[in-house]
C-alpha cells in the first residue's frame, strides 16, 4: 500500500493548481469564514440558541464549520496565518466548553432537539457531522500539533464506540448519510486504537442487513422528526441511502451520489485495513459500474437533479445534470484510496478527470462563489423562465452561499489539501501522481517539478537532493496520452508501461534531470450510443481538460453547431484569459434556419463558422449566457 504525501512535504509553486490553491488561501477561506459567521454557524456551538432566535441551527451545520477548519488546517501547513489560527482556536475553545460530560457534541441536538440524539440516524446527519468534526480535528492536530480539538473528538468517538455495535444494549444502527467511516479509519491510523477500526467496519458491514435498522428506528415513538419516505417511486426503498441490501450484495452504484461515494471510500478503507477480499471485489465491481455507465465526461456523478442521485445506467442528461461539486470531491476520495491501495494509475485517470473538470467548475475564478450542481449544458432563457421549476439548481451563475452549504467548504478543504495528492511513496520509492509545478521533500530527497500542465505537454523534474536509499521513481502516464517520451539527463529512455506508470530505477544523483513529454492533441470524444442524450454528438478534450463553448465567445445559437470528426483545431494559450488557460479555435459548420417550424425532410443547409472553446471548469466567469459541452456531429 502506498502512503499519501504528507501535506507539509509538498509545496505548490506555480501553474494552474497553484493559482487555485492560492485563491483559496487568500480569498475563499476568508469569505467563507464571514458566511459561517453571518449565518450563525460558527458561534452556535455556544449552545445558547433559544426558540424564536434567528439562525436556528440545522442538522448539518456542524459539518460546514468542520470542513472550514479542516481547509484552514491544510492551508496553515504551507501558509501560516496567525489570525486564522486564532479564530480556529476560539471555535475549538467553544466546542470544549459545550461538549457534554459523556463526550457528546452536536449543535442541533443540544439546542433544537434536546433529548432526541441518536433517534433519527436516517435523516438527521448526526454521525455525518461527527465524522467531519473528527476529520477536522485530525487535520488540525497534524498541522499545528495542538491536541485540544483532537482530544475533544476522541472523547466523542469513544462515546460512539460505546453506543453503536453488535453487543446487547448497543444501537445496531448506522448513519443515514455516510462519512464517519472515513473519519474513524483516519482516527485509527493516528491513534492505533482498534476500537475505531472496529466501529468503521461495523458501520460498513451492518448497513442494509435485515431487519433494516431504519424500519426499527421509524417505529420508535421517540422519533422527533417526520421521516423522509422518499416519495419518488424509484426510490421508495432504502437504495437512496445505500441501505437496501448489505454492501457485499450490491451490484451497482445507486442512490444519493455524495452518500454513495463517501460510503465507497469508507468501504475501500475497511476492505484494505482488514484484508477483506470480498469487500475489495465489491469495490472493483461498483467502481466499474460507476465509471463505465454512470459518470459524466467531466467526472461529474449523479444524473438526477431532483433527488441528487444516480438514476439508471447510461442516463446522463446534460442540462439537468446534478453532478454536485461534493459528489465529484467524494469520487476523488474514493479513487485516490483505490490508487494508494492498488498502485494502479487507472484510478488517478478518473481522479484527474474529476479534479480538472467536475470539481474546479464548482468555484468561480475569484474564489467567492460556487456551483452546487454542475450542468454540461445551459440555456439561459430556460433558466430565466424557470421552465422546469429547478432554477435554483440549474443556473448559469454561481452563488455566494447556500442554505445547504456543503459544497463551498468542501471544495475549500480539497483545494487546501491538493499538495497531498501530487505524490505518493512506497518505502523509498516515489510516485508522481499528478503533474504541477511543485517541490516535494521526502526524508533527504527533494524533487523540483516545473510545468504548465495541464495546458503544456512538458514536465521537467530535477533531483535537487538525493538520499542514498532512493532509487526508483514512478511517473504516471495518463490513459488519454497515446504518445509520450522520457529523457534522463537529455538521453531518451524506453521504459515499459505498467498499471499506468513507467518505472525508472537508477543510482540518482543531485541535479539529475528528467523530461517527460505527454502529447496533447485535440481529441474528439463520443459517448456510448446507450447515452441517449449524446447520440450523434461529440465533445472536445485536450489532455485531462474537457472543453465547452460559451455564448460570449460564439454564435447566439450554440445548439445549431455541427462538427465532424475531421474538423481541425488550433491550440492557443492566453495568460490574460480566465486566469491563464489554453483555448481552442476551430472551423466547423452552423445550421441555417429556414424559419419554418416544420418542413419536409431535406439536407440541412450548413454554412462555415468559427468556434472558440474554453476549459469547462472555467465557464460562467464572464457574461451570462448559453453553454454546451456536447456538439452535434456532422457525418458529411
- Indicate whether 233 pLDDT > 70: no
Q: Is 308 a catalytic residue?
A: yes
Residues 332-357: tens digit of each pLDDT:
999 999 999 999 999 999 999 999 99
Residue 517: beta bridge partners? 458, 485
| pLDDT at residue 629 in the model | 98
The C-alpha atoms of residue 571 and residue 568 are separated, in whole angstroms, by: 10
Residue whose C-alpha is closest to residue 198's, from 241, 164, 244: 164
Element (H or E) spanning 325, and its range?
helix 325-342
Percent of the chain residues topping a pLDDT of 90:
88
The grid coordinates listed for 350 are 478518473
Rounded mean pLDDT, 36-45? 92
Annotated domain spans of the chain:
39-237, 242-417, 423-453+458-516, 522-633
| pLDDT at residue 443 in the model | 82
Count the Cβ atoms, other than its own, within 10 Å of residue 624: 16
Residue with cell 434556419: 593
The C-alpha atoms of residue 417 and residue 72 are separated, in whole angstroms, by: 10
Rounded mean pLDDT, 210-216? 94
Phi and psi at 131, nearest 5°, equal: -60, -45
| pLDDT at residue 231 in the model | 45
Residues 402-459: tens digit of each pLDDT:
999 999 999 999 999 999 999 999 988 999 999 999 999 998 899 999 999 999 999 9
Residue whose C-alpha is closest to residue 397's, from 410, 387, 383: 383
Considering the candidates 129, 406, 407, 481, report the single residue annotated as catalytic: 406
Q: For the chain, how many residues are written?
A: 636
Residue whose C-alpha is closest to residue 63's, from 51, 53, 71: 71
The long-range contacts involving 336-339, CB below 8 angstroms and separated by at least 24 positions, are: 336/4, 336/421, 337/265, 337/268, 337/269, 337/272, 338/268, 338/283, 338/287, 339/2, 339/424, 339/433
The C-alpha atoms of residue 292 and residue 527 are separated, in whole angstroms, by: 11
CA atoms lying within 13 Å on the CB side of residue 229 = 3
CATH 2.60.40.1180 for domain 423-453+458-516, yes or no, is yes
Q: Is 406 a catalytic residue?
A: yes
| pLDDT at residue 329 in the model | 98
Phi and psi at 454, nearest 5°, equal: -95, 10
For residues 182 and 265, the answer to whether their CB atoms sit within 8 Å is yes
Residues 133-164: tens digit of each pLDDT:
999 999 999 999 999 999 999 999 999 999 99
Residues 583-626: tens digit of each pLDDT:
999 999 999 987 889 988 888 899 999 999 999 999 999 999 99
Considering the candidates 85, 135, 217, 308, report the single residue annotated as catalytic: 308
Adjacency order of strands within the sheet including 472-476: 3-4, 423-426, 429-432, 472-476, 501-505, 497-498
The grid coordinates listed for 523 are 481529441
| pLDDT at residue 599 in the model | 87
The C-alpha atoms of residue 222 and residue 633 are separated, in whole angstroms, by: 59
For residues 326 and 407, the answer to whether their CB atoms sit within 8 Å is yes
Widest distance between CA atoms in the chain: 78
Rounded mean pLDDT, 223-245? 65
Residue whose C-alpha is closest to residue 181's, from 273, 113, 254: 273
Phi and psi at 233, nearest 5°, equal: -50, -40
- Indicate whether 571 pLDDT > 60: yes
The C-alpha atoms of residue 375 and residue 627 are separated, in whole angstroms, by: 9
- Indicate whether 391 pLDDT > 60: no
Phi and psi at 464, nearest 5°, equal: -80, -30
Rounded mean pLDDT, 44-72? 94
| pLDDT at residue 223 in the model | 47
The grid coordinates listed for 183 are 473519519
- 3-state secondary structure at position 588: strand
| pLDDT at residue 52 in the model | 87
Name the average pLDDT for the chain: 94
Amino acid at each position: 500500500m502506498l502512503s499519501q504525501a504528507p501535506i507539509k512535504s509538498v509545496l505548490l509553486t506555480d501553474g494552474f493548481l497553484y493559482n487555485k490553491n492560492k485563491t483559496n488561501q487568500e480569498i475563499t477561506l476568508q469569505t467563507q469564514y464571514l458566511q459561517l459567521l453571518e449565518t450563525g454557524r460558527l458561534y452556535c456551538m455556544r449552545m445558547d440558541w433559544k426558540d424564536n432566535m434567528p439562525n436556528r441551527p440545522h442538522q448539518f451545520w456542524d459539518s460546514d464549520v468542520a470542513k472550514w477548519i479542516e481547509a484552514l488546517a491544510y492551508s496553515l501547513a504551507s501558509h501560516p496565518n496567525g489570525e486564522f489560527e486564532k479564530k480556529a482556536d476560539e471555535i475549538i475553545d467553544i466546542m470544549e466548553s459545550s461538549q457534554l460530560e459523556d463526550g457528546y457534541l452536536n449543535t442541533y441536538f443540544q439546542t433544537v432537539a434536546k433529548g432526541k440524539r441518536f433517534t433519527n440516524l436516517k435523516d438527521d446527519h448526526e454521525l455525518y457531522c461527527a465524522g467531519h468534526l473528527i476529520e477536522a480535528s485530525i487535520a488540525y492536530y497534524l498541522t499545528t500539533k495542538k491536541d485540544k480539538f483532537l482530544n475533544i473528538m476522541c472523547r466523542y468517538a469513544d462515546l460512539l464506540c460505546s453506543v453503536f455495535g453488535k453487543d446487547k444494549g448497543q444501537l445496531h444502527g448506522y448513519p443515514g448519510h455516510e462519512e464517519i467511516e472515513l473519519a474513524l479509519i483516519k482516527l485509527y491510523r493516528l491513534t492505533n486504537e482498534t476500537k475505531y477500526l472496529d466501529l468503521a467496519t461495523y458501520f460498513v458491514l451492518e448497513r442494509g442487513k435485515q431487519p433494516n435498522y431504519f424500519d426499527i428506528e421509524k417505529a420508535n415513538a421517540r422519533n422527533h422528526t417526520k421521516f423522509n419516505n422518499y416519495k419518488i417511486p424509484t426510490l421508495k426503498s432504502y437504495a437512496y441511502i445505500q441501505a437496501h441490501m448489505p454492501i457485499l450484495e450490491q451490484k451497482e452504484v445507486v442512490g444519493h451520489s455524495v452518500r454513495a461515494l463517501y460510503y465507497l471510500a469508507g468501504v475501500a478503507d475497511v476492505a484494505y485495513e482488514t484484508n477483506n477480499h470480498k469487500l475489495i471485489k465489491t469495490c472493483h465491481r461498483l467502481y466499474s459500474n460507476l465509471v463505465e455507465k454512470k459518470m459524466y465526461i467531466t467526472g461529474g456523478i449523479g444524473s438526477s437533479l431532483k433527488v441528487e442521485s444516480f438514476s439508471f445506467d447510461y442516463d446522463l442528461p446534460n442540462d439537468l445534470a446534478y453532478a454536485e461539486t461534493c459528489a465529484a470531491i467524494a469520487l476523488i476520495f474514493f479513487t485516490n484510496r483505490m490508487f494508494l491501495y492498488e498502485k494502479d494509475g487507472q484510478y488517478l485517470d478518473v481522479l484527474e478527470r474529476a479534479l480538472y473538470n467536475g470539481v474546479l467548475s464548482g468555484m468561480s475564478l475569484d474564489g467567492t462563489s460556487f456551483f452546487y450542481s454542475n450542468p454540461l449544458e445551459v440555456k439561459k432563457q430556460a433558466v430565466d423562465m424557470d421552465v422546469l421549476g429547478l432554477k435554483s439548481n440549474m443556473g448559469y451563475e454561481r452563488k455566494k452561499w447556500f442554505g445547504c452549504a456543503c459544497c463551498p467548504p468542501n471544495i475549500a478543504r480539497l483545494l487546501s489539501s491538493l499538495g497531498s495528492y501530487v505524490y505518493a511513496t512506497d518505502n523509498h520509492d516515489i510516485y508522481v501522481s499528478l503533474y504541477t509545478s511543485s517541490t516535494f521533500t521526502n526524508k533527504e530527497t527533494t524533487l523540483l517539478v516545473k510545468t504548465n500542465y495541464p495546458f503544456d505537454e512538458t514536465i521537467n523534474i530535477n533531483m535537487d537532493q538525493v538520499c542514498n536509499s532512493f532509487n526508483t521513481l514512478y511517473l504516471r502516464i495518463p490513459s488519454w496520452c497515446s504518445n509520450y517520451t522520457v529523457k534522463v539527463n537529455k538521453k531518451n529512455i524506453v521504459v515499459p508501461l505498467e498499471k499506468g506508470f513507467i518505472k525508472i530505477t537508477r543510482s540518482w544523483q543531485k541535479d539529475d534531470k528528467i523530461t517527460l513529454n505527454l502529447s496533447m492533441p485535440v481529441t474528439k470524444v463520443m459517448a456510448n450510443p446507450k447515452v441517449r442524450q449524446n447520440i450523434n454528438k461529440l465533445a472536445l478534450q485536450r489532455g485531462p481538460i474537457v472543453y465547452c463553448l460559451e455564448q460570449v465567445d460564439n454564435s447566439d445559437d450554440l445548439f445549431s453547431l455541427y462538427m465532424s470528426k475531421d474538423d481541425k483545431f488550433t491550440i492557443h494559450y492566453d495568460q490574460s484569459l480566465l486566469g491563464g488557460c489554453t483555448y481552442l479555435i476551430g472551423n466547423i459548420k452552423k445550421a441555417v434556419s429556414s424559419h419554418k417550424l416544420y418542413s419536409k425532410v431535406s439536407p440541412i443547409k450548413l454554412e462555415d463558422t468559427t468556434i472558440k472553446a474554453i476549459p469547462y471548469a472555467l465557464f460562467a466567469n464572464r457574461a451570462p449566457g448559453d453553454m454546451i459541452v456536447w456538439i452535434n456531429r456532422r457525418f458529411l
